[in-house]
A and B are shown apart, each in its own frame.
Chain A
Amino acid sequence: MDLFDIPAAFLIGALTGTGVGGGGLLVLYLTLLRGVEQISAQRLNLILFIAVSAAAVPYHLAHRKVDAEVLAVLVAFAIPGTFAGAAIRGSVPSETVREIFGIAMLITGAYVLFKKGGDPVRSERGSRRG
């Protein structure tokens, strides 16, 4: 265990919980700073994300408006996509997945940096239940 593992996981979990982002951060931390292989880092990231969302999702469902119909459509159509993505991952070298991941990080960073609006704090819609 590395000295920075605990604070890094806590910060990444907190960022994920606020909605700022975080999914890719753990993979970056594990691959670039801890030397974990790309596919293994992605797997660990998924496990951590599931643990984080298991804690955060019930809170969000209790305090926000979530449309069950939209939720069902999103999950239903994402399932075949997930299998397709896994098949692609299994058919290309780990280095290629790493490069694609890097490109995805660049796009995510640019999107977060330059998109307008979407900040709950600045929302004037007053949609919180509580």
Chain B
Amino acid sequence: MTLLPGKKGRASLSLAALGALFAGVVNGLLGTGAGTVFFFITQRIYRDDPGIGAEDCFACAMAAVFPVSLLSLLTYSGSAAGDGLLFSLLIPGALGGLLGAFLSGRIGRKTLKKVFAAVVIFGGAYMIAGR
């Protein structure tokens, strides 16, 4: 369960390095997205490892995106508009995250994923359209 030596290990290391660089660019530019890229990378690295499941890859992605998000936040210094919303978002968001982590691996996510995909596709199209 690590970056293996030899050709396969070098391929994994290259994938992790290039993918992480890309994830950083996305997160620095958009303030989100690194987790999805990290999850994709870890799934590719461990696709032949029977001891590592998708939930382990997700945990690794979450652990990696935490410091990257902290760093991204530092690049937003001086932009404090909308901070009045923080108090109404922060505590329920954290409680929801804790519940989600507990439910991870315990509930079927197929429908949730479809709903999530539909919402982001609609929202993305709406953003591009401008109104």
Which residue, of B63, B76, B102, B112, has the highest number of chain A Cβ atoms within 10 A? B63
Whether the Cβ atoms of B99 and A60 lie closer than 8 Å is no
* Interface SS majority for chain A: helix
Please name the residue on chain A nearest to B51 by beta carbon: A127
- Partner of B50 from the list A84, A120, A125 (CB cut-off 8 Å) is A125
Asked if A9 meets B82 with Cβ closer than 8 Å, knowing A21-B36, A27-B32, A106-B121, the reply is no
* B-contact bits for A91-122, CB 8 A (1 contact / 0 none): 00000011111111110111111000111110
Task: List B contacts of A11 (CB < 8 A).
Answer: 96
A contact set with B: CB distance below 8 Å: 1-2, 5-28, 30-32, 34, 36-37, 39-57, 59-61, 63-67, 69-71, 73-89, 97-106, 108-113, 117-121, 123, 125-128
Task: List B contacts of A103 (CB < 8 A).
Answer: 124, 128
- The complex places the Cα of A37 from the Cα of B71 at a distance, in Å, of 21
Whether the Cβ atoms of B85 and A44 lie closer than 8 Å is yes
Whether the Cβ atoms of B82 and A125 lie closer than 8 Å is no
Shortest beta-carbon distance from A17 to chain B in Å:
2
Whether the Cβ atoms of A100 and B2 lie closer than 8 Å is no
The 7 A-B pairs of least Cβ separation, nearest first, read A17-B100, A81-B24, A85-B28, A13-B96, A105-B124, A42-B31, A102-B127
Asked if A46 meets B72 with Cβ closer than 8 Å, knowing A15-B100, A18-B112, A56-B100, the reply is yes
